[in-house]
Amino acid sequence: MAHASLGKPSLCPYIAPMPPDMPSTATPMPPLWTTLRRFLPYLWPKDAPSMRRRVVAAVLLMLLGKVIGFAMPFAYKAGVDRMAPGMEAGVAIAVALIVAYAGARFGNSLFENLRNVAFESVGQEATRNLAEHVFRHLHRLSLRFHLDRKTGGVTKVIERGTKSIDVMLYFMLFNIAPTVLELTAVCVYFFFKFGPGMVVGTLAMVALYIWFTRAVTEWRNALRREMVDMDTNAVSHAVDSLLNFETVKYFNAEQREGDRYGAAIKNYAAAALKSENSLAWLNIGQALITNLMMAGAMAYTVWGWSKGQFSVGDVVLINTMLSMLFRPLDMLGMVYRTIRQGLIDMEAMFRLVDTRAEIVDADNAPALVVEGGEVRFEDVRFGYDAERPILKGVTFTLPAGQTFAIVGPSGAGKSTIARLLFRFYDVTDGCITIDGQDIRAVQQDSLRASIGIVPQDMVLFNDTIGYNIAYGRADATQEDVELAARGAAIDGFIASQPKGYDARVGERGLKLSGGEKQRVAIARTLVKNPPILVLDEATSALDSRTEAAIQDVLSSIAKRRSTIIIAHRLSTVVDADRIIVLEDGQIAEQGRHADLLSKNGLYAAMWARQAQERVEEVLAGDGALEAR
């Protein structure tokens, strides 16, 4: 690792692995085989013997149902033969055979439904496990990944992909496999009863049916892929627009957003229309092939009956057998389409699963041990893009228990320092240590558990106030929540709510004012009770009165903690133990407030400019009062 100070021993010897957030570059496998390989752990879970027993039971019930179903045509044939002229004495037997035929039909239906009951929990469990795996994986990916994706599009991909697994498992186990078994049994019987010609004709028509279904479905898949892309685009736009509801209102853009969404829906409707119309052509072709097969087989049997080779029961037998075969063959077309469509839907989801995390723990990484909370940035260099560096060799040490402020113009890299400290990104060069431990060499969970933050834009969960405060620590009790609320001076506001801590805050906390949201954020951090605290422009969006009140709360919670204050308003950092002035990704000045003013440099110029702005605001306010 290169450093600016060549010739000196490296203070940052650790090099963390940094795989990018990108799909795996492993050798691609055929989509169907890849899907099957990924299904197996969900279909046959190692740690769930009860699920395995259900799979075995479902397969046995499926086989038993097929055996009973295959007996139906023979019972039907025997009953019809008993009704031939000269067989009047066998009426009772004929009736018994017909009853047996009806019983076999019922048995077939019974075992099919029992099979479904046995397998349902397996499919649901597989779907649940896959959805949970994808969701956890998304939270392991870096901030860079999520900033580059639309949330609505990602959630739609997960929804479609996880819904596909249950359907694909069911069809592969209980449609494709039984159809192959049934076709084999029919061909074996046809060979011995009607000769090889019937077998060849049957296999040829089945092969033609499968070829036609596959060819037309591939054409339809291209249409469906276009439809899915249009659907994802429409949903992504809708979610993005609704999340920015206030911005839409601010700029009177309701009509504009409606037009954009309408255009997206129109494109989706056109693609969906082409996809659905193509289904009609597929159904017509399939019906033509299956009915030609039925007509040929039945004509051959009738011809054999006219020659005395076959009985009337044989005509009924072959009709029943072919009807049994046609039903799964008709389903086979739908199954093939469903599986192919499922593969399309799951392709995008598996790309998410294959995306490797950029920020990963080192092998056997220990937990971070915070004794005092000293934070050190050593020659830290970083850029979100290689062509645009943000930090250009930042070095400073925050002693345990002290308060450092980081100020500077917009774009100087102030908030980037907080993101690097939380290890949302890894530094390009240099290192960050806490009590001498490189943060890349320790577990991320332990690192983030040791740091609390009150950000500028606090987004709350659409839940209760109590839930949002307790979110700071998983095992927080109600007493902890109430104590934190008092510490953040929001307990009075909560007490004034009809539902108290059970009052809901709305989407992203929009039912609360800016000051109330910030106090909830402070209370959440108090519940966490971290040794290191980051205040990232926590009061910049508030009015002066609210800012002053919250500033007092922040000052109290910063005591006895190593605190980094990232601020735009210099009046909020005058009491800091040290102020660091960033400019263009480098430390331009540092020192206490009075020292920096005496230097008459960048900090002093910023202070003078903000002081002038405050004077202008006061004069503007006085002028407004006089005008009244």
CATH label of the domain that carries residue 124 = 1.20.1560.10
Q: Which of 81-95, 135-149, 519-533 is predicted most confidently? A: 519-533
Asked whether residue 508 falls in the same domain as residue 589, the answer is no
Give first-to-last CA distance, the chain, whole Å: 66
> Picking from 8-22, 137-151, 223-237, which range would have the lowest pLDDT averaged per residue?
8-22
Q: Give the number of residues written for the chain.
A: 628
Position 589 pLDDT exceeds 60 = yes
User: What per-residue confidence (pLDDT) applies to 24?
Assistant: 46
DSSP secondary structure string, 342-354?
A: HHHHHHHHHHHHH
Examine the domain organization and report whether 104 and 140 are in the same domain.
yes
Same domain, 264 and 405: no
Read off the pLDDT of each residue in 125-151 and give the average, rounded to a whole number.
73
Least Cα distance to 359 among 248, 275, 444, 302 occurs for 444
Q: What number is the average pLDDT over the span 259-276?
A: 84
Q: Is residue 512 part of a domain?
A: yes
Helix (H) or strand (E) holding 580: strand 578-583
> Which of residues 354, 385, 415 is at a domain's end?
354
Edge-to-edge strand ranges of the sheet holding 437-438: 391-398, 375-382, 429-434, 437-438
Same domain, 247 and 315: yes
My answer on whether 209 and 119 are in the same domain is: yes
Rg (alpha carbons) of the chain, rounded to whole number: 36
| Residue 385 and residue 468 in one domain | no
In this predicted model, which residue has the larger pLDDT, 50 or 508? Answer: 50
Out of 235-244, 374-383, 517-526, 547-556, give the one with best mean pLDDT. Answer: 374-383
Within-domain flag for 439: yes
Query: What mean pLDDT comes out for the span 598-624?
Result: 76
Indicate the pLDDT class of residue 152, thresholds 50, 70 and 90.
low
The answer to whether residue 199 sits within a structural domain is yes
Q: How many domains does the chain contain in total?
A: 3
Does residue 474 carry a pLDDT above 60?
yes
Q: For residue 20, is pLDDT > 70?
A: no
Instruction: Indicate the residue type of 580.
Output: I
If asked whether residues 504 and 548 sit together in one domain, one would say no
Q: Tell me the average pLDDT across 346-363.
A: 77
End position of a domain, from candidates 291, 322, 354: 354
Mean pLDDT of the 175-187 span: 82
pLDDT band at 374 (very low <50, low <70, confident <90, very high): very high
Please indicate, yes or no, if residue 26 is contained in any of the structural domains: no
Q: What mean pLDDT, rounded, does the chain reach?
A: 79
Residue 148 phi/psi, 5-degree rounding, is -90, -5
DSSP string of 486-536? HHTT-HHHHHHSTTGGG-B--TBTTTS-HHHHHHHHHHHHHHH--SEEEEE
Residues 6+ away with beta carbon under 8 Å from 232: 153, 156, 157
Give the whole-angstrom CA distance, residue 566 versus residue 572: 10
Q: Is 409 left (phi over 0), alpha (psi -120 to 50) or beta?
A: beta
| 24 found inside a domain | no
* Residue 540 pLDDT greater than 70, yes or no: no
Q: Can you give the residue range of the structural domain that contains 502?
A: 459-529
Domain shared by 370 and 422, yes or no = yes
CA distance 59 to 567: 65
The neighbour count for residue 498, using CB atoms within 10 Å, is 6
Highest mean pLDDT: which range of 172-181, 578-587, 607-616? 578-587
Please report the pLDDT score of residue 121 as a whole number.
77
Same-domain pairing of 133 and 215:
yes
Residue predicted with more confidence, 183 or 319: 183
- 432-440: average pLDDT: 92
Helices (H), 82-150: 91-140, 143-147
Q: Which residue has the higher pLDDT, 443 or 471?
A: 443
Q: In Å, how far from its chain's centre is CA 304?
A: 61
Q: Which residue has the higher pLDDT, 166 or 300?
A: 300
Give me the CATH number covering residue 490. 3.40.50.300
Task: Average the pLDDT over 355-365 and give the result.
Answer: 81
Q: What is the pLDDT of residue 25?
A: 42
90 confidence band (pLDDT: 50, 70, 90) = low
Percent of the chain past pLDDT 70, that is, above it, reads 83
User: Is the predicted pLDDT of residue 378 greater than 90, yes or no?
Assistant: yes
Least confident range of 281-290, 333-342, 349-358: 333-342
Q: Does residue 23 fall inside a structural domain? A: no
> Residue 28 has what pLDDT?
45
**Residues 487 and 526 sit within 8 Å (Cβ to Cβ):** yes
Question: What's the confidence (pLDDT) of residue 3?
Answer: 38
- Whether 93 and 128 map to the same domain: the answer is yes
Q: Average the pLDDT over 265-280 and give the result.
A: 83
Reported as type and span, the H/E element at residue 323 is helix 312-354
| Position 628 pLDDT exceeds 70 | no
460 secondary structure, DSSP code: B
Indicate whether 17 pLDDT > 90.
no
Q: Which of 166-170, 312-316, 376-380, 559-563 shows the lowest per-residue confidence on average (mean pLDDT)? A: 166-170
Are residue 189 and residue 260 in the same domain, yes or no?
yes
End position of a domain, from candidates 328, 354, 380:
354
Show the beta-strand stretches assigned E in 410-512. 429-434, 437-438, 451-454
331, 471: one domain = no
Average pLDDT over residues 116-129: 79
Report if residue 294 sits inside a domain. Answer: yes
* Mean pLDDT value of segment 543-554: 68
Domain-embedded: residue 323: yes
